[in-house]
Structure 1
Amino acid sequence: MANTVPRNTLLGMLEEIRRQQMKKYLLHRMFLVAMLPENTDGGEVIAFHEQLFKRIAKFHLGEPVSGVLLIYSSCILHVLESSSGTLYHILKELAASENQGPEPFLRDVKILVVSHNIPTKLFTQWYATTVDVPEILEDISQTQTTEEVITECLTLILKLGVYLATLKVGNKGLGDCLHSVVPELLIRTETIKYLCKAEKCLSPQEFLDLYDNPLQPVMDSESVWPTPAHLFA
């Protein structure tokens, strides 16, 4: 018996269009890195983000945040999945926190990539855990470009997300064991530090400035007042 080739039907296409229309919000995924001040406790970092998400949810309707927060000894790696409005408010809070004084809660926050209109979430919920990754002093800038480093990091993060999707995580979260279970999927500390200093990566404030600016700026000739008039002799 000959094998049949599956074909799309009109009914299937209409159902898919309806599923897309029934979505309340488009999903986006954002990758962040940041440096931690000295003597910052991992529990404080988790509590800061949990309070931030709750505060935003009170006045802004959007997709619940999912993702993963990896807390290193001196830096963090954060992946966030949500609607555009929620991510926008998170960036505003992060930008404000960096301007709170000489000792902000997070320093050198950088946005690696924002993936728009992702079809599905990679993470079923928001995870947070500390990881113990040994630091190796290495000058990455001499061997790789910023784009190559970011690409390598995104590959590892996506693989980590696939791994977490196979786990049955309870209410207590992941626990502090990723560095012993899947060390090959964790980004090295010196890599995150390098990205926190990368000029090609935008800070939250720089990203918001671009986001809020109009795509069609007003020309000088359009902002002259009073309106130019012909002079007659």
Structure 2
Amino acid sequence: MVTGSGASSLAMANANSQKVRRSFSSKSCEHRESEEDGGDTMTMFEVFNGNRREKIVLQRLIVIARLPRHLADRTELGAHYEKLNFQLRKQYIWDHMTGLLVIYPSCLLHVIESSREVLLSVLKDLEDIRQQPDRALLEAPKVVFMAHNPRRRLFQQWSYKVLNADQGAVDAGTKGLEEEEEEEESTETLVCTVLSALQKLGGHLETAQKALPGSLLDDTPDLIVSQEVLDKLLARDDLLTPQQHLQMYDSPLNLSTDFGQVIRSSSLTRV
């Protein structure tokens, strides 16, 4: 309950935040226009090293999901996302999509880097798959993390890797956690384990001579996020589903000063 001067402060804060958003939007448009006027020229050094000056506000989405038992050929998942990537490239010409899909024996880890529109399309596709139980390629998808405007991309292109049964079974980053059997790992700890492994993989890709992360994972299996960590995350109820994550974009913060109350149209939170 907020009354008196508290309600006035909230109203002023809301007005200020709207001004900031308008200012940011205006600056973003001006920045894009300056690039289109010739500011996006790249040097040969940038091209050779796979660097790019973004024409979008970059976002990074990390999702996980279980694989259905009836899925005999796991490459079907890779083919599905290759097709989706091709469709999104035609729809969003400037919104280059990069990332990595790692397909484990019983689950998957998918990292997608692109614009907000592309990431929302991937989430909607996950929801469409979930609503097709007879021929679903995955089950119980969950959003692990979404980064807004990261400093750089972890991957320079999109690719997928199908792991063997013995790959991803052990992760050096979780050995210390396994020793603490009495205390259950928090969701935050598990998410940080995933993020740390992906950052290490991205760092190795910058210095390695290999074009795709798949071959690097074969040579350096300790960079693979363990399937055990992903299984634990899939069992957590505090991670959002794609549907819940999409609902957040349609549920803005509403301030009601008439009754001196702050009403949020959705109480959903994200890690």
Which band: TM-score by shorter chain? Answer: 0.7 to 0.9
Note the alpha carbon deviations across 1:58-87, whole angstroms, 9 max, x for none.
Answer: 333442111111111111111110011110
Aligned position for 1:26:
57
Matched, 1:155 2:196: yes
Deviation at 1:163, TM superposition (A): 1.1
TM-score norm. by structure 2 comes to: 0.65
Aligned position for 2:78:
46
Q: Work out whether residues 27 and 83 of structure 1, in 8 Å CA contact, stay in contact via their aligned partners in 2.
A: yes
Note the alpha carbon deviations across 1:120-174, whole angstroms, 9 max, x for none.
Answer: 21211112112232647x898953111111111111111111112223345xx45
Task: For 1:82-231, list aligned pairs within 5 A.
Answer: 82-132=114-164, 133=167, 135=169, 142-170=183-211, 173-175=212-214, 178-179=217-218, 181-216=219-254
Select the structure that is richer in helix: 2
Aligned position for 1:59:
91
**Secondary structure of 1:24's match?**
coil
Distance 1:218 1:169, change over 3 A: farther
User: Number of paired residues?
Assistant: 201
Taking only aligned residues, the RMSD between alpha carbons, in angstroms, comes to 3.0
**Secondary structure of 1:120's match?**
coil
1:145 maps to amino acid: S
Unaligned residue ranges in structure 2 (runs of 5+)? 1-29, 36-53, 171-177, 260-271
| Range with bigger deviation, 51-60 or 109-118 | 51-60
Note the alpha carbon deviations across 1:7-30, whole angstroms, 9 max, x for none.
Answer: xxxxxxxxxx96996352100011
1:147 maps to amino acid: E
Q: Distance in 1 between matches of 2:148 and 2:91?
A: 23
Deviation at 1:216, TM superposition (A): 1.9
**Secondary structure of 2:228's match?**
helix
Q: Work out whether residues 58 and 113 of structure 2, in 8 Å CA contact, stay in contact via their aligned partners in 1.
A: yes
TM-score norm. by structure 1 comes to: 0.75
Q: Work out whether residues 100 and 111 of structure 2, in 8 Å CA contact, stay in contact via their aligned partners in 1.
A: yes
Distance 1:18 1:55, change over 3 A: closer
